[in-house]
A = this chain, B = another copy of it.
């Protein structure tokens, strides 16, 4: 690249030719963009999607496909799970905070059953099967799973748990060919196409175009180095993804992710955030991050996880994303798994979707004392951790962290230690502040006219915490809102160029 293009808005009066025109221009063809395009088209708008890569899908199509939904969806009910919007809301406020957008979470929970039905109506398949084991994903094509630690401490004691990770039915799971994310995106983009949505590919967003009243009326983009001016008569929807791959933003906002972006795609360079900031758009929760940990949840649930001082710090049977966050953000990325031979065998006898997380042991020993010494932990630290765990495990309880009885068993010998330091990676959750109609808010609190956003370029329902499915969930939910809001906006009076 020879020069960094400016992100400052262009004035419509300076545009001499519009290369494309549409009522609603959607930037990004991931889940938020597809949902926006569908609903904008249904509302009668002529819709054009601009996608940076050579095809639809975004990070969504490459993801596992979890969509966080609840409150009593037909899938939950068919599988025998009671849930209410109120319990879902209580859980999300507790698990995704502190500092969550409570109005957004309330709105999201109230609309969740309707949103599930909408996804089904667009052709997204959900198989009526539940997977109840600890893990990142089901090993097969099951449609429902716990995905945020609802059934683990401390939440299971506070709020009636229900599984809310809804998964589009996968095909050829083992080869990764048609994973949950693909099976979500394919029907959505097919629906959009049927509705007449146009899509242009290999187009990189550069800046927004504003009229003299500061209303957004288009975008400037580039394709293979050639500048394109694209007019949006009613509105622009930003659905450009996170900033996990924008180095300066990571350093400035979410430095714990330096060198460890994950579950994002390299196109996630924060461009949608930056071009809106140039108009005075407000931000929220720029430090918030999803954090994955590359450990086998089956093994973790059956062992004990300790930090760099040999202390336990998290119930090992919870959502692995909570383990990832706690490890990176609260334990300086220091984690060691302690597992005895019997537990290892039991774990490895179970099915898992991610067998490559089963790393070989770093240390093996005949006693805890020996393992502690081999690991280089100060004398007594690991021994006392195991002693206390075992003292209570004999009674099948874990009063220290509340691991569920079914996973609590004294640690025996021989045993092994697994070095999981630096095993975390993640993506960013912060971004543009939007209202319930997905309007991008100016720092004054007023909406920026003509500008809408959804997905991971916005701050959605998450603040400090995460649950798998929250991103595809709020991305599709508020993508729909953005599409409707943009399509029903009065057309701007920007004259066609050259007229």
Contact = CB atoms under 8 A, between A and B. Distances in A.
A287 B287 contact: yes
A243 B250 CA distance: 22
Interface string A80-101: 0000000000000000011100
Contacts of A330: 329-331
Interface string A301-336: 000000001011100000000000000011100000
- Which range contains the number of A residues in contact with the other chain? 35 or more
Given A252-B433, A378-B392, A280 B98 contact: no
Interface stretch (A116-124, A165-173, A231-239, A438-446): A438-446
A431 to B, nearest CB: 11
B443 A274 contact: yes
Interface in A241-286: 250-256, 258, 274, 277-280, 282-286
The CB with the most chain B CB atoms within 10 A, among A4, A8, A444, A464, is that of A444
A451 interface: no
B4 A445 contact: yes
Contacts of A99: 250-252, 254-256, 258
A315 to B, nearest CB: 11
A225 to B, nearest CB: 20
Given A278-B443, A391-B380, A253 B285 contact: yes
A282 B286 CA distance: 12
Contact of A255 (B97, B280, B385): B97
A471 interface: no
A385 B279 CA distance: 54
Contacts of A78: none
Identical chains bound together, number: 2
Contacts of A311: 309, 311
A459 interface: yes
Contacts of A282: 252, 277
B444 A8 contact: yes
A437 to B, nearest CB: 18
Nearest to A279: B280
A400 B385 CA distance: 13
Given A253-B285, A287-B286, A287-B287, A7 B443 contact: yes
A282 B7 CA distance: 12
A399 interface: yes
A463 B252 CA distance: 8
A345 interface: no
A309 B400 contact: yes
A384 interface: yes
A387 interface: yes
Nearest to A389: B380
Contact of A8 (B4, B286, B387, B442): B442
A436 interface: no
Nearest to A280: B278
Nearest to A255: B99
B401 A379 contact: no
Contact of A459 (B252, B283, B380, B442): B252
A391 to B, nearest CB: 6
Given A7-B443, A277-B280, A330-B330, A387 B388 contact: no
Given A8-B442, A381-B388, A384-B384, 15 more contacts: A8-B444, A98-B258, A99-B251, A252-B459, A253-B284, A253-B286, A255-B463, A255-B464, A277-B277, A278-B280, A280-B280, A309-B313, A309-B400, A378-B388, A380-B384
Interface of A: 4, 6-8, 97-99, 250-256, 258, 274, 277-280, 282-287, 309, 311-313, 329-331, 378-381, 384-385, 387-388, 391-392, 399-401, 433, 442-446, 459, 463-464
23 contacts: A4-B445, A8-B280, A8-B442, A99-B252, A252-B285, A253-B285, A255-B285, A274-B443, A277-B282, A278-B280, A287-B287, A309-B311, A309-B312, A309-B313, A309-B400, A311-B311, A378-B392, A378-B400, A380-B384, A380-B387, A380-B391, A384-B384, A384-B388
